[in-house]
A and B are shown apart, each in its own frame.
Chain A
């Protein structure tokens, strides 16, 4: 078969790779046919200038074609770009779709911002609600320990105007907030600062959407009628202006903690959103946040007949098992390991993070996000590396190197110290994966189930985005489940929050979840401790658990 035939048989939406240069960076991005260049760049730190939400009406997102095939100029482009510029390959990136591998030059990027757009494919699809007749705009927020995700909606029409995510500014205080709350090293004043910063970050994200996707800010802020925030218990406590003390009273671990702001009027004043009802979706318990509840809303787990397991990986890994009757919920310290914090070469899933590792003809192949030089590993890359090092017998199931390594580390790329795997990082990872695998198998045991009984294993959170499931099972992070039964859902918490914000049936669904929930504190369960120790070894989860 000729190459051209092969090309013709490619589906229309098969992605091409575009290279975008600015004066200080180069990005390579996969681009599908229905994604504009602007939409693709909005997910990176190299964003075009914009003020109209991609309608082609503001003319701000100019970009220069260097090479490659694109769609012909649209009416909007012919109206906004001078004919001679258009002839020279100047285009509007919101109108531009690549039809082949190509190269573009962006002379005037938008000023640097921490906010990027989310992939909306997995997010909520809203029907609109004609009953909303005033202050029609709404905001859904997933307030995580390391990231904030949010989306801006017209609640009446059910249209998502924009979505964003960014790093939670509290990360700058020292990333592992739970450890710091834990160590009692956060003064009340620090707690207040972190809470205020989270509020500020959320409204900045909203303003970024309004300025880029609607073209006006203040008048729209005044028309916001509802904001709904889901998140882990620690962050919700802090954004409400409370100190973290109550979280560490053992009596609060298993019971609901009320996260209610006592200064809503002042909060609205700072945001300039006088009509916004600011709602906090209440956490299930001290260490099980409403982010897990939102995951459960988004996946409709308890609407199913057959068993499902859902895990949301993060600083705390929250796990829920639905057995058809009861929703067993717990939380374990996934710890910094899954968010790259506290490990020497650990990164969150950001540009330059090694997200996949493979071996090809005896050589390590490291794939980084944004295809830039490696700066360290995010969880998926680290897990791949550990799995392959076990296969290559460079690492033993005990977690130790087979041969003593100089400086206690093994370099996958001899010339780049950021590719080093440290023994101490493997140790940290072993604990994180052991607590996760032990919690999953323990909940299954409580419910009298085996991993093989699961209809679906949901992996929620950005952790799953790049995860190689075979590697995850090889190292014993996930019990052995048929690959076809595992579903990855990166923005599940935000999708659930959107449903709660927009769908009048959302609240009933949430109440049904709460009614079926049984919170388990594994801290006091001897059997769980035994499972934890047995799962420390780097090997697949013992098969008797998976049967």
Chain B
């Protein structure tokens, strides 16, 4: 039974058909699946499957990326309200668009996927200063700062990622808070993330969620050690 739900849910996500995906979820609930099952057995595996599929599929398009995130976040949000007890989150991220950058759609995909993967996301919005990123990460006890930059000058600007790196270094936080970046300029130049002082980057929003989860695990492993 679960197998059939997984298959039709994955198909709906792949076809960017939000309505069909929600119908699968409703049917599953009405036939006895718990909200927890929907998230952990349906949504999370589907997001992970889409990550793998998008990585290996050169034809995947942006509509699919957006819909993967949109549907996952939407369903997760609906289910969380129905959870019998609050879920265990795997970590926390502060995310925002770089200083001078007003593009918010890219990070939206990342946020959607992260939420469905049980990562707490603090969205700082657009045009966020370096100091605000770092202060928020400390205050919220986040493991990762994620910076979206859609323009070359906001990716490489002195008040963007480079200043965040400098602040983390000055405050001795480099092991406790990791820096991830994403956005069009990083696709033009795959080495750019290192030049701006980031620990990791991703070519698209869905993969970015995966990269961020890895960074969270690294920090937690380091903390535990």
Contacts and interface: CB of A to CB of B under 8 A. Distances in A.
- The finding on whether chains A and B are genuine partners in a shared complex, rather than unrelated, reads yes
Interface of A: 182-185, 248-250, 253, 396-401, 404, 408, 423-424, 426-427, 430-431, 434, 521, 523-524, 529-530, 532-534, 536-537
A423 B104 CA distance: 25
Given A184-B151, A248-B151, A397-B15, A529 B63 contact: no
A408 B100 CA distance: 37
A397 B100 contact: no
A265 B92 CA distance: 60
Interface string B13-42: 011111000000000000000000000000
B16 A250 contact: no
Interface in B69-116: 70, 100-105, 108
Contacts of B18: 534
Top 5 closest pairs, chain A to chain B, by CB? A536-B63, A427-B61, A184-B153, A398-B16, A523-B102
A400 B59 contact: yes
Contacts of A408: 58-59
Contact of A523 (B100, B104, B152): B104
A174 to B, nearest CB: 14
B138 interface: no
A185 B104 CA distance: 22
Interface residues of B, number: 28
B203 interface: no
A182 B154 CA distance: 10
B52 interface: no
Contacts of A530: 70
Nearest to A181: B151
Q: Is the interface of A mostly helix, strand, loop or mixed?
A: helix
18 contacts: A183-B152, A183-B153, A183-B185, A248-B100, A249-B100, A250-B101, A396-B15, A397-B15, A398-B14, A398-B61, A401-B59, A423-B61, A427-B62, A430-B63, A523-B103, A524-B102, A524-B104, A536-B62
A401 B100 CA distance: 38
Contacts of B104: 523-524, 529
Contacts of B14: 398
Nearest to B99: A250
B61 A399 contact: yes
Given A427-B61, A427-B62, A536 B152 contact: no
B153 to A, nearest CB: 4
User: Among A521, A530, A533, which residue has the most Cβ atoms of chain B within 10 A?
Assistant: A533
Nearest to B102: A523
B127 interface: yes
Interface string B181-215: 00001000000000000000000000000000000
The listed residue with most A CB atoms (<10 A of its CB), out of B63, B66, B151, is B63
Given A184-B152, A426-B61, A430-B61, A536 B102 contact: no
Contacts of A532: 105
A397 B67 CA distance: 12
B63 A182 contact: no
A397 B62 CA distance: 13
Contacts of B101: 250
Contacts of A396: 15
Contact of A537 (B16, B102, B126, B151): B16
B15 to A, nearest CB: 5
Contact of A398 (B64, B100, B108, B153): B64
B125 to A, nearest CB: 8
A530 B64 CA distance: 14
Given A397-B17, A398-B15, A533 B152 contact: no
Nearest to A525: B104
B151 A253 contact: no
A185 B152 contact: yes
B108 A400 contact: no
A250 B66 CA distance: 25
B59 A521 contact: no
Contacts of A253: 102
Contacts of A523: 102-104, 126
